[in-house]
Amino acid sequence: MLQAAFDERGIDARHELLDVTVPQLAGVIDEVRGGDFLGAQVTIPHKERVVPLLDRLTEEAQATGAVNTITKEGKRLVGHNTDVAGFRVALDRLVGRQKMPKQAIVLGAGGGSRAVTYGLITGGFQRVVVFNRHLHRAEALVKHFTKSAAHMELRAMPWHVSIIEAELLKTRILINATSIGLHGDVSPLPAEIIPAGLLVMDLIYNPPQTRFLRDAVAAGADTTTNGLEMLLHQGTAQFELWTGQSAPLDLMRERLDAALAAREESADDAAADASAASAAAGSGAPAVPAGE
CB atoms within 10 A of CB 271: 10
Query: Each residue of 24-65: pLDDT tens digit?
Result: 999 999 999 988 999 999 988 899 999 999 999 999 999 999
Residues 67/79, Cβ–Cβ less than 8 Å: yes
Written as tens digits, the pLDDT of the chain (292 aa) is 999 999 999 999 999 999 999 999 999 999 999 889 999 999 888 999 999 999 999 999 999 999 999 999 988 999 999 999 999 999 999 999 899 999 999 999 988 899 999 999 999 999 999 999 999 999 999 999 999 999 999 999 999 999 999 999 999 999 999 999 999 999 999 999 999 999 999 999 998 999 999 999 999 999 999 999 999 999 999 999 999 999 999 999 999 999 888 887 776 665 566 555 555 555 443 333 333 2
How big is the CA angle at 240 (ends 238 and 243), to the nearest 5 degrees? Answer: 105
Residues with active-site annotation = 47
CA dihedral sign, ordered 218, 220, 223, 227: negative
Burial class (CB in 10 A: 0-12, 13-18, 19+), 235: buried
Question: Which of helix, strand or coil describes residue 247?
Answer: coil
Per-residue pLDDT reduced to its tens digit, 261-291: 888 777 666 556 655 555 555 544 333 333 3
All domains of the chain, ordered by start, with CATH?
Answer: 2-81+231-251 (3.40.50.10860), 84-227 (3.40.50.720)
Residue 7: partners with Cβ closer than 8 Å, 6 or more residues away: none
Helices 249-283 & 228-243 angle (0-180, nearest 10): 130
